[in-house]
Amino acid sequence: MINSSPVSCDVKPYRKAADVILLLITLPCLLSLINLNFAQDWKIHFFSVAIILAAVVFGAGGGLLAGLTGSLYSALFLGNPYILVGNALFGLLSGVLYKKTGKVIPAILVAYLGQLPWLILSDYYFVHLPAMFITKLAIVLFLTNAFWAALIHLSLNSIKKLFSF
């Protein structure tokens, strides 16, 4: 007897897997290669948008994975493996706080404040960067994270439709 039931070729699970791979691994890696210089060698960092987006879409685990992959290039290029821990912490906290509050901007800013002690400790004591450089970096990262969080907040409905959650 031949089974005459129609065969269903559901593409949705594969699309979700591709979305996860793109957002959690590929996008952070690619965006870590982009930094725009402005005002006296300050840089706008792009990889944090991928970390924030992954944390909002996939939660704490997604934010953590994007934080790790997004900082691989920087960690290798700068010889600073502590960047991996800081960005993984930022992604994890972003996902936890967004899930708890449902608010993108406050979750991201508080997550950054949670990451900041690690950034200061590791950059000053382990990597021996000058305090002025760390101060500038902390300010730029705060402004960059606030900017990306605001953009993601403004486009949250489109993001939800895109990932259909």
Query: Is the residue at 64 inside a domain?
Result: yes
Cβ atoms of residues 48 and 34 within 8 Å? no
> Does the structure show a pLDDT above 90 at 126?
yes
Query: Is the residue at 28 inside a domain?
Result: yes
Regarding predicted confidence, which is higher, 117 or 164? 117
Query: Is the residue at 9 inside a domain?
Result: no
| pLDDT for the residue 2 | 53
Query: Is the residue at 119 inside a domain?
Result: yes
| pLDDT for the residue 70 | 81
Q: Per-residue pLDDT tens for 76-123?
A: 888 889 999 999 999 999 999 999 999 999 999 999 999 999 999 999
Give the C-alpha separation, 98 to 94, whole Å: 6
Query: Is the residue at 3 inside a domain?
Result: no
| pLDDT for the residue 9 | 55
pTM, entire model: 0.81
154: which residues sit within 8 A by CB, 6+ positions away? none
How many domains does the chain divide into?
1
Q: What is the DSSP code string of 7-65?
A: PP---HHHHHHHHHHIIIIIHHHHHTT-EEEETTTEEEESHHHHHHHHHHHHHHHHHHH
Regarding predicted confidence, which is higher, 149 or 17? 149
**What's 78's domain CATH number?**
1.10.1760.20
Range of the domain at 138: 19-163
Query: Is the residue at 10 inside a domain?
Result: no
| pLDDT for the residue 132 | 94
Query: Is the residue at 124 inside a domain?
Result: yes
Q: Per-residue pLDDT tens for 18-63?
A: 766 666 677 766 666 666 666 666 667 678 888 998 899 889 998 9
